[in-house]
Amino acid sequence: MNRLLSRVDLNLLVTLDVLLKEKNVTRAAEALFVSQSAVSRSLARLRDTFDDPLFTRVASGLVPTEKALELEKQLLVLLPQLSAVFSEETFDPLNAEHAFSISLPTLLSSALTPLLMKELRGIAPRIRMSEYAARANPYSSLDQGQIDFAVHFADSTNRRYVSKQIGTLRPQLFVRPGHPLLAKANVSVEDTFGYPLVGMAIEEDLYHSFSAPITQVYKDLMVERRPILRSTQTQVLIDVMSDSDAILFGTNCLQGLRSYKKDFESLKSIQIESNDAYSVPVFLIHHERSNNSAAHQWMGELLTEKISELLL
């Protein structure tokens, strides 16, 4: 069947459809914006393709044969379907039932996912999301279609992947409400030495290592300090911090959590927050095969918007 279809010029079907409507070569040529001779040549090819005269000439124009009338019924169904295949994809979020998967670092997930799902409930209630832990190398998962998007800490130089920086993770200190250090307008690193430290555990591997900025801060100051707790679970760290004088070394995205200002607050530290050496760029990456997908473009724009808001 594929071999037979390869011999058919789909433009001939459009010409046949117009001829069936107009029943006149001159009017068909005008409707198609081509010459009469071009329509006559197309009609000759149609007759050869279907092995039927298709039309007979009379004084008033053309009269379709039985074969042409049968084809007319089929074209009523076929041409709209072909038009849908070749037309630009449209995407209606309100009625869309697409499923998307994304890999996220834990420190972003706890803040982003609740905000994203709340937004989707209002504008795209049938969209389904799957979230996976961030991978130090997300590219094989993108290649295999296991994930649609990856939030990553490094840009991609491979043209197969579309990479866009959507924000910057900046180190930030957090404490419970009423913590003694909240009385200071600007907290130095030395001010934190009298308090326990908790921090986030970040995945590392040989290909790309994202070291928690706190490690670099203390290394720069020649101070050997280790957190009493490191965890990938944001809420665990917040619970420990909220019930003690421990300082949580996290990032700016934690201010997007619902419990911010209620269960914990940020310590202002120009010494840490203004140092670009302790900041990490955040990229949203997807495979090039989704470049022409309206649905993926829409979701990419939504993810960019929500993550950028968290990383202000």
Q: Encode pLDDT of 79-131 as tens digits.
A: 777 766 666 667 899 999 899 999 998 878 889 999 999 999 999 999 999 99
pTM of the predicted model as reported, rounded to 2 decimal places: 0.68
DSSP class per residue in 254-268: GGGSTTBTTTBEEEP
pLDDT of residue 214: 54
Six-digit token string for 150: 């990856």
pLDDT of residue 88: 60
CA distances to 32, 67, 111 from 47, in Å: 19, 10, 65
pLDDT of residue 149: 97
Six-digit token string for 166: 């959507």
Question: What is the distance between the alpha carbons of residues 66 and 64, in angstroms, rounded to a whole number?
Answer: 7
Where exactly does CATH 1.10.10.10 map onto the chain? 2-86
- CB neighbours (10 Å) of residue 202? 20
Q: Which CATH architecture describes the domain 171-278?
A: 3-Layer(aba) Sandwich (3.40)
pLDDT of residue 89: 62
CATH topology of domain 99-168+280-310: D-Maltodextrin-Binding Protein; domain 2 (3.40.190)
Mean pLDDT computed over every residue of the chain: 85
pLDDT (tens digit, 9 = 90+) per residue, 174-225?
999 999 999 998 988 888 888 998 887 765 443 344 455 555 665 665 455 6
Could you tell me if 20 and 33 are in contact, meaning their C-beta atoms sit under 8 angstroms apart? no
Helix axes 25-32, 10-22, angle to 10 degrees: 130
pLDDT of residue 209: 41
Where exactly does CATH 3.40.190.290 map onto the chain? 171-278
Q: Is the pLDDT of residue 283 over 90?
A: yes
